[in-house]
Chains A and B, each alone.
Chain A
Amino acid sequence: MAKRIEAVNVSAYYGSFRAIDGITMTVEPKAVTALIGPSGCGKSTFLRSINRMHEVIPGARLEGRLLIDGQNIYDRDIDVTAVRRMIGMVFQRPNPFPTMSIYDNVVAGLRLGGLRKKALLDEACEKALVSANLWEEVRNRLKRPGAGLSGGQQQRLCIARAIAVEPQVVLMDEPCSALDPISTLAIEDLITQLKNQYTIVIVTHNMQQAARVSDRTAFFSIDSTGEPGRLIEYDDTAKIFTNPSVKRTEDYITGRFG
């Protein structure tokens, strides 16, 4: 089920500004891959290019190839909605749909995708909420608005919403940066559980978090402001954090470089 992602020489642009340059890396299935690096180094841009969210921004475009199990998702005959259904995404700030209840939020992807049968929706809702470790907290108030939950609960609601459509890859863009340590722990536990089923790519500014949850870590960096971001080193997490091959990675991890 889970998919292997291969980026081949991927460069992304916002208008004439090149945000990332020539990224080539392979993301392994059923594993957690962390993207770390200083602000503006293009790790979020790279993440968004994996499910073609990059092009939502006016003027944004991309060069290179991104292969999901050998198939380039930037080919002309690719259905973007199908790509995004296969590759789900969780954002930095929780973004539950404000007009919808908890239940409606979780099944939004299925319902807007055309699924109507209530029994199937109920089942999918419970399954997704259980997977997101939220079921016990909300089972008695599924009809209440999703925006009424706490920040950590909202983020788990968004994770439930993302996995309810049964994607094969889940992309997470700093999912814990707006959360307190307890909610962060809950979500990290969740990521560890989810990797049994899904390929997970997570962008994080928190290096302890990358070390805790990921199997592989990619370090991105920029030479200076205005330059495009590049992939500096990509290896097993244990190696990156104990014995990196590149001096810049070591400087960043040990805090000698912003």
Chain B
Amino acid sequence: MSERLGTIAGLRTKRLPGWAVPALAAGGLAVAWLIVYLPGTGGAVLTGVCAALLFLAALVGVSVAVEGRRAATDRAATALIYAAFLLALAPLAAVAYTLLAKGATRMSGDFLTHSMRNIGGRDAGGGAYHAILGTLEQAGIATLITVPLGIAGAIYIVEYGRGALATAIRFFVDVMTGIPSIVAGLFILAFWVQLVSPLFTADHQPEFSGFAAALALSVLMLPTVVRSSEEMLRLVPATLREGAYALGVAKWKTVLRIVLPTAAPGIVTGVMLAIARACGETAPVLLVAGASASINSNPFAGQQQALSIYIYQQAKDSSIYAPPRAWAAALTLVVLVLALTVAAKLLARRSKLAR
């Protein structure tokens, strides 16, 4: 072996000192500033890109000279991975910054507590209270429908389903995952609004409602919840189930008290992803709940607004007061989803024992 690889001369090797990497980075930035930014060749972005490239080249060059090829490859790969990480983070940071910067200007207690009723194109006031209410009710009802159904479906597939039926259900859940949201909306429009809702109204006319929107959102959320719960249930080790069976615990109780609590944190994450997606859906809600400018707290009758539709309407409105409202509503929506996610995570962690 030693003949092929060469003999080992010693265990010590030359390494760049700790200050070398920051010094090279600072040098790259300085050079880029001198040759790109000062003469006016490019702006801040081009300067940054040039600085990064200069830094990379200098780092590899110095490393090859001092440490040798293997260490230089390591340094280059490390630098590239950090660069990829920053690049991936950039859109997220940009979205968060834009939302905060543009949304905060119009954000106020007034915005959160007022609707758009009687607000014309020349009126500066108005708010998104009706839309927040609608989104919360629609997503809430959809969650109430989807979570028990979805988790029960996943339990069937993982714990009980054998043979053709389970395979068929899995297949159709996969198919459902691919349904475009507008198709889900059309389905609920044709089925619930046109066929079923006339049975409940006094004049037997079809009626838009927040509940119809919740149904459409359920169609979209269900496959996500089933699939993520299924994956999480499969991750629960079989030895835990056997441990419970060996104590004389019935199967349904084992699933309910041992398997589900063990999988709970992962299931919560899947449910939150589904809720976040549902909160942002626009087309199906517009199709079956309409879009009202007034407050309608009853999800079972009459048109209801949602934040996503509100953003869409305000963004395309010709009034100069509309775009700030759209940004404020977008900020509201993101904060709402973020708060729900954090709350759910905390709840799931509390139920699990902390080490």
Contacts and interface: CB of A to CB of B under 8 A. Distances in A.
Contact of B262 (A51, A56, A97): A97
Contacts, number: 79
Contacts of A145: 353-355
A91 B353 contact: no
Nearest to B250: A81
Contact of B248 (A84, A97, A158): A84
Given A81-B248, A82-B248, A165-B248, A99 B239 contact: no
Contacts of A81: 248-250
Contacts of B248: 81-86, 109, 113, 165
B247 interface: yes
Interface in A92-125: 93, 95, 97-101, 108-109, 112-113
**Which of B243, B250, B261, B262 neighbours the largest number of chain A CB atoms within 10 Å of its CB?**
B243
A161 B248 CA distance: 12
B162 A58 contact: yes
Given A81-B248, A81-B249, A109-B248, A95 B355 contact: no
B242 interface: yes
Q: How large is the interface on A (under 10, 10 to 19, 20 to 34, 35 or more residues)?
A: 20 to 34
A113 B240 contact: no
Interface residues of B, number: 26
Contacts of A148: 355
B247 A165 contact: yes
Interface string A219-247: 00000000000000000000000000000
B247 A161 contact: yes
Contact of B247 (A93, A101, A162): A162
Contacts of A51: 246
A174 B240 CA distance: 17
Contact of B246 (A89, A99, A100, A113): A89
B100 interface: no
B351 to A, nearest CB: 8
A97 B242 CA distance: 11
B257 interface: yes
Contacts of A112: 244, 247, 249, 253-254, 257
Contacts of A108: 244, 247, 249, 258
A101 B352 CA distance: 10
A85 B353 contact: no
A53 interface: yes
B264 to A, nearest CB: 8
Contacts of A53: 242, 245-246
B206 to A, nearest CB: 48
A88 interface: yes
Nearest to B354: A145
B237 interface: yes
Nearest to A164: B247
B346 to A, nearest CB: 16
Contacts of B245: 53, 56, 84
A151 B2 CA distance: 42
Contact of B261 (A58, A86, A88, A99): A99
Nearest to A111: B257
Contacts of B239: 91, 93, 95
Contacts of A97: 240, 243-244, 258, 262
A78 B117 CA distance: 69
Interface in B302-355: 351-355
Contacts of B250: 81
A145 B352 CA distance: 9
Contacts of B353: 98-101, 144-145
A58 B161 CA distance: 11
A61 to B, nearest CB: 14
Contacts of B352: 99
Given A93-B239, A112-B249, A99 B244 contact: no
A84 B262 contact: no
Nearest to A96: B243
A99 B261 CA distance: 7
A95 B239 CA distance: 6
A71 to B, nearest CB: 16
Interface string B87-101: 000000000000000
17 contacts: A53-B245, A81-B250, A84-B245, A84-B247, A85-B248, A89-B242, A89-B246, A91-B243, A91-B246, A95-B240, A98-B353, A99-B261, A109-B247, A109-B249, A112-B244, A113-B248, A162-B246
Given A85-B248, A99-B262, A112-B253, 19 more contacts: A53-B242, A53-B245, A81-B248, A81-B249, A82-B248, A84-B245, A84-B246, A89-B246, A91-B239, A95-B239, A97-B240, A99-B258, A99-B351, A108-B249, A108-B258, A109-B249, A113-B249, A158-B243, A165-B248
